[in-house]
C-alpha cells in the first residue's frame, strides 16, 4: 500500500469539465504525472466477450503497442480491458491506471511498483483520500475520467444498452474521437459516429 507522502495532487487537465456534471476539483496520482501530457489513447470495454472480437482486439493492441510515443489510459477492469493491459505491459509502453478509490487502499504488485519507479506507469484517481468506500458512482466517474483525459477513446466492445456504449456516445457528442472494431456487437456505436478501429485511423489522430 502507499503512504500519504507517496501521493501527489494534480490539477485536472483542461477540457474535462464537459464530461462531468460535477467536475473533480483535484486528481491524485502515484508516479510521474508527466505521462498525463503524453499522447493518450483511452481504452474501455463492456464486460461482454465474443471470441472473434477478442482475437481482433488482441491483434489491434499488439499493433498499437508498437506505435511510437503512444501511451494508454484505462480502468483495466473488464475481461477485454484486462487482456489489453496484459498485451501493453508485455510491450513495456507507458500506461495510466484509473482507480475508483483512494490510492492508499490500492495494493500494488511488485511489477506495478517497478513500472512506477521506471516512469512507465501512473496511478490516477478522482477519489479523495477521505473516500471511505468504492461507490457505483465512483466506478462510473472512473470511466468518465478515462474518456475525459484521453485525446481519443478506443471502445473494444459496446453492445446495445451497455455503459460503454453510453459513454462512447457521450464522448462523440462532446467532440472526442472514438474508435471501435468493426463487429456486430459494435454496430450501434459505429452508426453513432465512431470510426473503425484501425492502426491507421488512430495514428492519424496523433499526427
Q: Where are the domains of the chain?
A: 4-205
Task: Supply the mean pLDDT for the chain.
Answer: 91
> Cβ neighbours of residue 97 under 8 Å, at least 6 residues apart?
74, 75, 76, 112, 121, 122, 123, 124
- Highest mean pLDDT among 98-102, 108-112, 190-194 belongs to 190-194
Q: For residue 104, is pLDDT > 60?
A: yes
More confident residue, 110 or 44: 44
Fold (topology level) of 4-205: Rossmann fold (3.40.50)
- Is the CB of residue 41 less than 8 Å from the CB of residue 70? yes
More confident residue, 146 or 6: 146
Tell me the pLDDT tens digit for each residue of 115-167: 999 999 999 998 877 766 655 677 788 999 999 999 999 999 999 999 999 99
Tell me the pLDDT tens digit for each residue of 52-97: 999 999 999 999 999 999 999 999 999 999 999 999 999 989 999 9
Q: For residue 33, is pLDDT > 60?
A: yes
> Cβ neighbours of residue 156 under 8 Å, at least 6 residues apart?
43, 44, 45, 53, 57, 80, 81, 84, 180, 181
Amino acid at each position: 500500500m502507499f503512504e500519504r507522502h507517496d501521493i501527489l495532487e494534480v490539477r485536472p487537465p483542461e477540457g474535462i469539465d464537459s464530461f462531468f456534471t460535477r467536475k473533480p476539483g483535484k486528481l491524485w496520482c502515484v508516479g510521474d504525472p508527466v505521462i498525463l501530457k503524453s499522447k493518450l489513447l483511452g481504452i474501455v470495454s463492456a464486460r461482454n466477450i465474443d471470441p472473434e472480437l477478442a482475437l481482433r482486439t488482441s491483434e489491434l493492441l499488439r499493433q498499437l503497442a508498437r506505435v511510437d510515443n503512444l501511451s494508454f489510459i484505462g480502468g483495466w477492469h473488464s475481461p477485454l480491458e484486462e487482456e489489453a493491459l496484459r498485451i501493453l505491459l508485455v510491450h513495456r509502453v507507458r500506461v495510466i491506471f484509473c482507480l475508483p478509490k483512494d490510492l492508499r487502499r490500492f495494493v500494488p504488485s511488485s511489477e506495478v511498483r517497478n513500472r512506477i519507479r521506471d516512469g512507465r506507469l501512473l496511478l490516477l484517481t478522482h477519489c479523495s483520500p477521505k473516500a471511505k468506500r468504492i461507490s457505483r458512482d465512483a466506478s462510473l466517474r472512473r470511466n468518465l475520467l478515462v474518456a475525459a483525459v484521453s485525446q481519443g477513446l478506443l471502445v473494444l466492445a459496446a453492445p446495445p444498452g451497455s455503459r460503454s456504449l453510453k459513454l462512447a456516445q457521450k464522448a462523440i457528442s462532446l467532440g472526442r474521437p472514438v474508435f471501435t472494431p468493426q463487429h456486430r456487437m459494435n454496430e450501434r456505436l459505429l452508426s453513432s459516429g465512431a470510426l473503425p478501429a484501425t492502426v491507421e485511423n488512430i495514428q492519424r489522430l496523433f499526427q
